Structure 1
Amino acid sequence: MNKIYLWGFIVTAAMLGFTYVSVLGTKGGLNGDIVNLLTIAAAAALVLITVFVVIKYVRQMQTDTADGELVGESWDDIGEYKNPIPTGWAILFLLTMVWGMWYYTLGYPVQSYSQIGEYNEDVAAHNKKFEAKYASITGDRLVEMGESVFLAECKICHGLTADGIDGTASNLNVRIEAKVVKHAIINGSNNMLMGSESPMPDRNGIFNANTDSLISDSEIDLVSEFVANGMTGAGADVFAGACASCHGADGKGMEYVAPNIATYDESLIVNVLSHGKKGVIGSMPKFGRLNHKQKEAAAAYVISLSKE
């Protein structure tokens, strides 16, 4: 007997034996369930078909000789025969394409049921009920809700006291730090802090009207400290000449132009939670899983921290 047939017999016996021990040999067996019977039959058929196909092609490799016409090109002196596409393969390939088009249009259209779709619908329904139930919450109760949201979603990066854990995230106890302002001036910013694209130019696009020139390194340092110190101290003239035209004379921003950099406000925080933010520290992800009321509550809590 050829060794390949012997090995085929051994492998088949071993796999069928393993199947018997794993299922039929256990207490209870198949329990007369037709599904179990069909599953075992399918497993046995797969074993037999696999072994048969392997033996067939191994024997073919052992006995077949190469013949036919070579194509003109070669790769590393390795030629390729002008073999026609196998008819069976070509038919299966075309049938697979036809089946795929049928499946994604008629067999299982995009709007058909899916577990993910059901989950999203359930979440949307829950959020609608949640917002309706808590729509009237304001004041201290909203801050309390925001603290719960913060502890569940934000403390992992910003820390329990919202201090940013030694610079790994923004310190939410203050509106903005000097390094954040400096990074935005030097590199520009395209965060959706106003709910839509509102890019801020980098230093090459910031003109100081007082000096009639582009903002300088020393002016960047001064205005960064000025904004970080709550719009007080040295650098007020630089802010007035280079920044006030967009952020307003008081730094509280201008609608559709620039965000509030003097104090936190609800729309700013809600937009950060909705769209995420990139800055000197890194990237903050968006929190799509929070509904609008939860974002509003988180904003109320963060605003309350800077007032303490």
Structure 2
Amino acid sequence: MADNSNKSANHQKGDPNTTGHSWDGIEEFDNPMPRWWVWIFILCVIWSVGYWVVYPAWPGMNQATSGVLGYASRAEVAEEIAAFEERHDVLFAQILETEPGELQNDQDLHRFAVNAGASVFAAQCSQCHGAGGAGVQAGGFPNLLDDDWLWGGSHDEIVQTVTYGIRNEEYLDARYSQMPAFGRDELLSEEEMRQATHFVLSLSGSDHEAELASAGAEVYDYNCSSCHGVEGEGDTFLGAPALNDQIWLYGGSEEIVYESIYNARFGVMPGFDNRLREAEIRAVAAYVHQLGGGE
């Protein structure tokens, strides 16, 4: 006798058994899985077991199982990096053999140096000078896009600055200068500092009080001109900024100029001699030089 336990009243002759479930009167036939699907499933199970044996698969406490082939994706990446660096080492060697100022004469080598320097700049310099090199005035981080350089903007001078930095205690060859704190150390009176402030503002054509600026000319001549120049042209040998333009490292308002005179400025830049290879320093110097302000 046929088994009718899973057959409903609507079941017709020749229909397969149902699953026994009913949803709002709708019943589902209990059809077997297609044979092709079953075989694919079995093959997938067999393939996955083989994969577990051949390749790293099961995680352990310290590392995954290595598999009988000993394959490791990290080793493959390391090999690709090594091959990449080997190809680039040839070009870095050419950079070292070329004087920084002569890089532009070799278009392909200069292009490589700029691209490599951009990567170095993004990793090592952008935190202070900004991703595009525009600097951060509030922190006294110089804009590298203009042609106003404290210590000179030639290839060689940029290499020197990047290599040893500015006013740090790590390198004896770091660029160094010290501006007197005319107010903090009581070298000038309050009135003299106000006069000097307005004279400095007058040098760049900024808003100022003419009477105070006129009196400040003598204060400037006695106390400031030896570093900043008689006409405020600055001195890259001393790292003294030009005062006769409107490019300001910390800002050019009356309050900020007065603060600079009162407390002085003492920006510090680290040297990268022990952080970067010489070829990388030359590459980042090439990148900075071509940003638009290189001399």
Common fold, TM-score beyond 0.5? no
* TM-score of the pair, normalised by structure 2: 0.34
Larger relative helix fraction: 1
Higher relative contact order (CA 8 A, sep 6+): 2
